[in-house]
Amino acid sequence: MSNEPNKDLFVMAKDREDTSEKINRPSLTFWQDSWMRLRKNKGALFGMIVLILIVLMAIFGPIFSSHGLDDQDLSLSRMPPKVQGLENFSWLGLDGKNRETFEADTIELAEQRALARFQQPDTEFIEAEVKQEPNNETGELAVVEYAFDKYAAQGVDEYFWFGTDTLGRDLFTRVWLGTRISLLIALVAAFIDMLVGVAYGGISAYFGGRTDTIMQRIIEVLIGIPNLVVVILMIMILDPGIVAIIIALTITGWTGMARIVRGQVLKLKGQEFVLASRTLGASHTRILTKHLIPNTIGLIIINAMFTIPNAIFFEAFLSFIGLGLQAPDTSLGTLINDGFKALQVNPYIMIFPAIVMSLIMIGFNILADGLRDALDPKMRE
């Protein structure tokens, strides 16, 4: 050996602290640990931020707007969206102008069509942009895009950020109020599902035996009934409204939660740490609150998070097939449905509520995915 070690070191080592058993990582509670992992998940974080913004807008949004929910003014119907400061970015479509492209043999003909379309006597408020000159030899048509400034034409000074609907109601106000209702329905439905499901599943599993068998038979039959069918039947008995929709969504909606809770509690009940606790004389309450509930809560939260977008979807779906909320109640579903009727001419009426709804659905789905990863103790490293 070239590097002969120091001779003095060949003495028995003094007692040192054995560091091999030392725990290097800080000890975290379940929630701290979950939160840490959720924070690392960019998708879930994005979903959470989007949801917080939407909830804030649903609560405070209508306050920013000077227009009420049902302020109808037919003279202000179908105003395109116009936002302060964004007027010069025409591609955003938030400059308060209706844009449409016309094709005709000559530019003049195209202009006549545009005037007829916008119901204007002259081109005072209409800007034209020729996209293609007509050409008689090749047979190419004139293609002209006209931008009609409805705000100027009607002398409107106000700004309708999301435009107005066919009855002249401000869409910005309506979209956020609709969001409020949709979220309310979804949250209440998810909460009831959770309450009933946890109680049913918990009782079924904790008592076991005959109780469990009977309760499971009932669930098996209920689960066989398609959700769609139940919802439609319930809506038909009850007068369509917020309460009816919530009842319809929850009447069999809790079965999924009940099954999950039952499965988890059954699994936990047989596990050694619960048996150990029981052997040591722990009371039912203690076992429930210290062992069973904390180990089930993650699953419950995750499942509830997936219930919410599902409820929002069903509410919108019901509006779509004519079984949803009736005027004057507004939800994202009714707004989108209204927007469809005017889709071909004024797409923005549908697009804004559709965007908000999609964002809510995406937000909840990715947040729930993230939570599933974060709360699953098996993933802890």
State the binding string over 181-220 for another protein (x if CB under 8 A, else -).
Answer: ---------------------------------------x
Given the complex with another protein, which of 113 and 290 has the nearer CB atom? 113
- 25-to-28, 32, 373 alpha-carbon distances in Å: 9, 13, 20
Residues in 353-372 at the binding interface with another protein, rule: CB under 8 A: 354, 357-358, 361-362, 364-366, 369
Specify the amino acid at residue 152.
A
Interface stretch with another protein, choices 89-97, 176-184, 189-197, 339-347 (CB under 8 A) = 339-347
Site string for another protein, 282-321 (x = CB under 8 A): ---------------------------x---x--xx--xx
Q: Which of 108, 135, 226, 379 binds another protein (CB under 8 A)?
A: 226
User: What is the C-alpha to C-alpha distance for residues 67 and 73, in angstroms, rounded to an integer?
Assistant: 11
Least CB distance from residue 277 to another protein, whole Å?
A: 27
- Contact between 225 and another protein per CB under 8 A: yes
What are the phi and psi torsion angles at 95 (to 5°)?
Answer: -105, 10
**Contact between 221 and another protein (CB under 8 A)?**
yes
Q: Which class for 347: exposed (0-12), middle (13-18), buried (19 or more C-beta within 10 A)?
A: middle
Chain centroid to Cα 158, Å, comes to 30
The reply to whether omega before 309 is within 30° of 0 (cis) is no
When binding is defined by CB under 8 A, the residue of 49, 59, 92, 236 that contacts another protein is: 236
Distance, in Å, from the CA atom of 316 to the CA atom of 332, rounded to the nearest integer, reads 7
Closer to another protein at the Cβ: 59 or 233? 233
Those residues with Cβ within 8 angstroms of residue 232's Cβ, 6 or more apart along the chain or in another chain? 323
For tokens 């050409």, the residue is 135
Judged by CB under 8 A, the number of residues near another protein is: 55
Instruction: Return the residue of 2, 6, 27, 285 that touches another protein, per CB under 8 A.
Output: 6
How far is Cα 305 from Cα 323, in angstroms, rounded to an integer?
25
For residue 172, give both structure tokens. Answer: 């910005």
- Residue 323 Cβ vs another protein, minimum distance, rounded to whole Å: 6
Q: Which residue from 104, 167, 340, 376 is in contact with another protein, where contact means CB under 8 A?
A: 340
Q: Is 344 in the site for another protein (CB under 8 A)?
A: yes
- Comparing CB distances to another protein, the nearer of 76 and 114 is 114
CA distance 329 to 178: 8
Terminal alpha carbon distance of the chain: 42
228 binds another protein (CB under 8 A): yes
Nearest to another protein of 265, 357 (CB atom): 357
Query: In Å, what is the CA distance from 178 to each residue of 144, 149, 318, 351?
Result: 37, 28, 15, 14
Query: Nearest approach, Cβ of 113 to another protein (angstroms)?
Result: 16
Q: State which of positions 49-78 bind another protein (CB under 8 A).
A: none
Can you read off the two tokens belonging to residue 134? Answer: 């007509």
Interaction between residue 343 and another protein (CB under 8 A): yes
Residue 10 touching another protein (CB under 8 A): yes
Q: By CB under 8 A, is residue 347 in contact with another protein? A: yes
Shortest reach from residue 106's CB to another protein, in Å = 21
Question: Dihedral angle at the C-alpha atoms of 149, 150, 156, 157, nearest 10 degrees?
Answer: -30
Token pair 């119907």 is found at 77
Q: What is the CA radius of gyration of the chain?
A: 31
Q: How far is the CB of 18 from another protein (least distance, A)?
A: 5
Helix axes 171-207, 209-224, angle to 10 degrees: 150
Torsions phi, psi for 102 (to 5 deg): -120, 145
CB of 79 to another protein, least distance (A): 19
- Closer Cβ to another protein, 63 or 221, answer by number: 221
Which residues within the stretch 33-52 sit at the binding site for another protein (CB under 8 A)? Answer: 43
Site residues for another protein per CB under 8 A: 1, 5-13, 16, 18-21, 24, 43, 220-221, 224-229, 232-233, 236-237, 309, 313, 316-317, 320-323, 336, 339-340, 343-344, 347, 350-351, 354, 357-358, 361-362, 364-366, 369, 381
